[in-house]
Amino acid sequence: MTDLRKEARGKPCMIRLPGCDGSRQTTVGAHYRLAGYNGTGQKPPDIMMAWSCNKCHDLVDGRVRAPYDRGIIRLAHAEGVIRTVAELWKAGKIKV
């Protein structure tokens, strides 16, 4: 099975929040938190992550205060997950 976390290296940011630097050097997987799929000390499955630059990941994880509503951040993150899954599928890394 493909290690989806490693697939993020060198990829463009899929979250694309305002201020995104799109840096491929800092791209990692940002897991989408959703009730029932994560908990204390438990990350969601890797299929629920978006390729994310450092700036977007900081906003998603709440390490940096955003100048806009949390709902906007969650929507951008969810769309990023969908974009990431689509790219993985096109590359043959996952099957649906």
pLDDT in the model for residue 52: 96
The answer to whether residue 49 sits within a structural domain is: yes
User: Could you give the number of structural domains in the chain?
Assistant: 1
The answer to whether residue 96 sits within a structural domain is: no
Q: Which domain holds residue 19?
A: 6-90
The answer to whether residue 95 sits within a structural domain is: no
13 Cβ neighbours under 8 A, 6+ residues apart = 20, 21, 22, 23, 27, 51, 52, 53, 56, 80
The answer to whether residue 1 sits within a structural domain is: no
The answer to whether residue 52 sits within a structural domain is: yes
pLDDT in tens, 13-52: 999 999 898 889 999 999 998 877 776 777 888 899 999 9
The answer to whether residue 33 sits within a structural domain is: yes
- Point out the residues that are catalytic: 31
The answer to whether residue 63 sits within a structural domain is: yes
pLDDT in the model for residue 33: 87
For 32, the token pair is 């989408």
pLDDT(88) > 80: yes
pLDDT, mean over the chain:
90
CA 68 to chain centre: 18
Predicted TM-score (pTM) of this structure: 0.89
pLDDT in the model for residue 28: 94
The answer to whether residue 41 sits within a structural domain is: yes
